[in-house]
């Protein structure tokens, strides 16, 4: 009799569904988990979660793309950084390098500020590649400034605007000034001796007015008798 009761208790315990097993996954007849039903439900849930994950991933990518595109201007504006007054650097959108940078910045989704950082780096590289004016002037001797001004006056007087724009870059180096002086001498029909003073070109009134604005011409304490005499001599040629 005791053995029968024990058998009945065991059967009841076996057929009782644990609380952590949902009723739909429990086979009441066998008193066991319905593995097939549980597996089917799990696979279905996993598929739905996978689809949801894909949708969320796609939405996140779309949001990021829209946020990035919102920062991209239709056309980048070239903003020059601060540069020294005596430095002349041309930066415009028609330059091949600047065209490339604009297209690259667009494809990378860069903002205006990020584009400007590239422009700043470009300008700094250009400045780093410029000759040292002070060193170049020392190579020309004590009358460096007069030689540079004379070469510039001559170029303005005898060359077209395009030619002047091109050749004026020579005036940033001592070798460039010497080359211009040789051209000036040939134009005069004579050869300039070594270590010479620059050939004077006939100036315009505008050139002379510019020279008169130089502190060496008018400012007390800075007046240079040699410079004043030179301006006066040039006035006689006009």
Q: State residue 179's pLDDT score.
A: 85
Q: What is the pLDDT of residue 190?
A: 42
pTM: 0.38
User: SS3 of 32, please?
Assistant: strand
Residue written as token pair 């605007």 = 161
pLDDT at 46: 78
Cβ-proximal residues to 72 (8 Å cutoff; 6+ apart), any chain: 106, 109, 110, 111
pLDDT tens, the chain, 238 aa long: 444 554 444 444 556 888 877 877 788 878 887 778 778 877 887 777 777 777 777 776 766 666 666 677 888 888 887 777 766 777 777 788 888 888 888 888 888 888 889 888 888 887 777 777 788 788 888 888 888 888 888 888 888 888 887 777 777 788 888 888 888 887 765 444 444 444 455 667 767 777 777 778 777 777 888 878 888 887 777 6
The per-residue pLDDT for 69 is 64
Burial 9-46 (b: 16+ CB within 10 A, else e): eeeeeeeeeeeeeeeebbeeeeeeebeeeeeeeeeeee
- Separation of first and last alpha carbons in the chain: 143
Non-local CB neighbours of 78 within 8 Å, separated by 6+ positions: 91, 92, 93, 98, 119
- φ, ψ at 27 (rounded to 5°): -95, 105
Report which DSSP code applies to 82: P
Helix (H) or strand (E) holding 27: strand 26-27
Domain boundaries, the chain: 2-68, 71-128, 133-201, 202-238
């Amino acid at each position: 009799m005791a053995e029968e009761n024990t058998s009945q208790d065991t059967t009841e315990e076996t057929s009782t569904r644990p609380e952590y097993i949902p009723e739909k996954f429990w086979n009441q007849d066998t008193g066991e988990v319905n593995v097939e039903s549980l597996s089917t439900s799990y696979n279905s849930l996993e598929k739905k979660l996978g689809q949801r994950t894909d949708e969320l991933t796609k939405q996140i990518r779309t949001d990021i793309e829209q946020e990035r595109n919102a920062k991209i201007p239709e056309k980048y504006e070239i903003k020059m950084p601060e540069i020294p007054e005596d430095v002349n650097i041309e930066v415009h959108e028609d330059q091949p390098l600047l065209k490339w940078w604009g297209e690259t910045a667009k494809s990378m989704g860069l903002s205006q500020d990020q584009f400007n950082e590239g422009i700043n780096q470009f300008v700094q590289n250009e400045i780093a590649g410029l000759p040292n004016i002070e060193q170049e002037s020392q190579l020309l001797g004590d009358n460096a400034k007069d030689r540079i001004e004379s070469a510039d006056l001559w170029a303005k007087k005898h060359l077209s605007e395009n030619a002047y724009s091109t050749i004026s870059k020579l005036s940033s180096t001592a070798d460039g000034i010497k080359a211009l002086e040789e051209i000036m001498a040939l134009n005069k029909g004579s050869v300039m001796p070594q270590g010479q003073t620059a050939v004077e070109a006939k100036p315009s009134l505008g050139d002379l007015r510019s020279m008169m604005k130089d502190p060496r011409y008018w400012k007390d304490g800075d007046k240079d008798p040699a410079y004043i005499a030179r301006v006066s001599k040039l006035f006689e040629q006009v």
